[in-house]
Structure 1
Amino acid sequence: MHLLSRAIWSLVGSLAYFGAAAVNAAGVVEVGIVFPRTNQTYAPTDKFPIVFAVQNAKLAKNLRLSISSFVRNGPDLRGGVANSDAKHDLTYANYTSDPYLVYHYLNLNAEGPYELFSTTIWASCDESRDEVVFLGNSTNLVVRFDVKNGGQNVDLVAATADEDKTCPAQGFAINVTDQTREVRETLDDRVSGTCAVLASSSPTPTANPCRVKIDSAATASMSAALQAALCKGPNPPADCPKENSAAHQLVVAGVASIGAAFGAIGFLLAYSM
């Protein structure tokens, strides 16, 4: 097995506010794919953002959300994109702002159809037994899009600017009450903590991740975090500051502060036989 001479990276992070805005119904948590959008065609890029949002985030505190995703491509959508697997574990996320964005970047330079497949795992209270336990739930979301020369350039500000855009198929909603229960550790189940009590799902609330707007300040912060992380990687870009320069020291300090706000930042290296 040999380490590839080039690193195929995936920057994973979280963005608490920083220019994202949305308004939604009280009591309903929405989870969805903000970008890419279904049936859109984008120009090839090695910095393609995959962006998820949690709206009404303060109510998601006890849902133990975890978002996993991967991307397929090829004529029959059976080929996997290298290092496209990502997981955003929000079990202990500090939902200080709303909406709460999580994202990562992929290298999508090859033309053709693509499919983003995501699974969100979440928990609620199961009060059907003598003891309250966690009830596991999962929801799958799929977004199909194309990458082609001449397609629209990736622009999160422009893509999320339409206030009237709706995309309910790119998200789902959870009707949460203001009540919680405590789950005790048992011999059969070692998981304990606070669970959220759900409200009736009838009528089923509708999600709209396209309601989330991302402004230029947010995209600038995301780009800065990406560049800083790449410069600390094994194959830094040519435009990175010199190792011993004062500017580089500022970048390193910036990575530390950005890391606190954005969550985990890491690289996935590709190996081949």
Structure 2
Amino acid sequence: MHLISRAVWSLVGSLAYFGATVANAAGVVDMGVVFPRINETYALTDWFPVVFAVQNTELAKNLRFSISSFVRSGPDLNGGLAGGDAIHKLQNVNYTSDPYLVYHYLKIVDEGPYELFASVIWASCDERGEQPLFLGNSTNLVVRFNVKKDGQKVDLVAATAAEGQSCPEQGFGLNVTDKTLEVSPTLDSRLNGTCAVLASPSPTTTGNPCRVRIDADADASMSAALHTALCKGLNPPSDCPKENAAAHQLVVAGVASLATAFGAISFLLASFM
């Protein structure tokens, strides 16, 4: 298990999405990258969205998902990070809809090849001892794409609108049983709570995040969250409410330097568990 122990600065968010209904295999939680798509070429845009989705959320609530991701650039993917790292901790999320979108935005200013690398961590029940414990596991998702001036416009609604889209390489499935156990703190671990029993601790099926549709309302909600965050930053857009004009000047200088270095509005996220 790859535990996340450092704080990361990025613009992140999540969205309870009330869009189109998604049919799922019974007992399978689907996790994956909705956007960008493998081998697609996108036009330059002010803020580039990275979107994940959890499907069959009723079964996901005890899996304690955490997503750590970054986008790297350059001909050999050695040109540095675009926007820094992002961490989404979902272990305390109240999944109020299905699917559930998790997203952040990046500043991508140069043309060229890019790679999104995401490490998804989850916890299930370890029943091997006298009492159940949390068993951590992880898998990696890689999405390579390109950015060019004449590429397709970044449009989440259009990109996800067509029926029958499939991208199993951008996601995975976990076969969750109907059994849960209660984990109590031990001398070695303070973790406690409900754990889910999986048919296998590792992914047993491919996923299909590309069947998730992002409708106009969901897209507008994400854009509004981005605008609100930018209005609280160091260089707010001109159309921000006036009350934000003075507030953004109070940001600590050290935080400002980090936000500038990573090219993103910053939120501090603590460790995984």
**Same fold per superposition (TM over 0.5):** yes
Which runs of structure 2 are paired with 1:1-20 in the superposition (5 Å)? 10-19=10-19
Report deviation, 1:20.
5.4
* Contact preservation (8 Å) 1:18, 1:221: no
- Match for residue 54 of structure 1? 54
| Consecutive aligned runs of 4 or more in structure 1 exceeding 6 Å deviation | none
- Match for residue 188 of structure 2? 188
Which runs of structure 2 are paired with 1:218-229 in the superposition (5 Å)? 218-229=218-229
Instruction: Give deviations 1:149-170, integer Å, cap 9, x for gaps.
Output: 1000000011111211110000
- Match for residue 162 of structure 1? 162
* Contact preservation (8 Å) 1:23, 1:211: no
Percent identical pairs in the alignment equals: 70
Alignment CA distance shift 1:31-1:73 (3 Å): same
**SS at structure 2 position matched to 1:108:** coil
TM-score, structure 2 as length reference: 0.84
Q: Which runs of 5+ in 2 are unaligned?
A: 1-8, 246-256, 263-273
- Match for residue 94 of structure 1? 94
Across the aligned residues of Structure 1 and Structure 2, the Cα RMSD in angstroms comes to 2.2
* Contact preservation (8 Å) 1:70, 1:117: yes
**SS at structure 2 position matched to 1:22:** coil
- Match for residue 83 of structure 1? 83
Q: Say whether 1:270 aligns with 2:234.
A: no
- Match for residue 125 of structure 1? 125
Q: Say whether 1:69 aligns with 2:69.
A: yes
**SS at structure 2 position matched to 1:80:** coil
Q: Which moved more, 1:155-164 or 1:31-40?
A: 155-164
Q: Which runs of 5+ in 1 are unaligned?
A: 1-8, 246-266
Alignment CA distance shift 1:68-1:201 (3 Å): closer
Alignment CA distance shift 1:213-1:244 (3 Å): closer
Instruction: Give deviations 1:192-251, integer Å, cap 9, x for gaps.
Output: 111100125899323100010000111011111111221122210122233399xxxxxx
Q: Aligned partners of 2:128 and 2:103: how far apart in 1?
A: 36
TM-score, structure 1 as length reference: 0.84
Q: Which moved more, 1:141-150 or 1:197-206?
A: 197-206
- Match for residue 141 of structure 1? 141
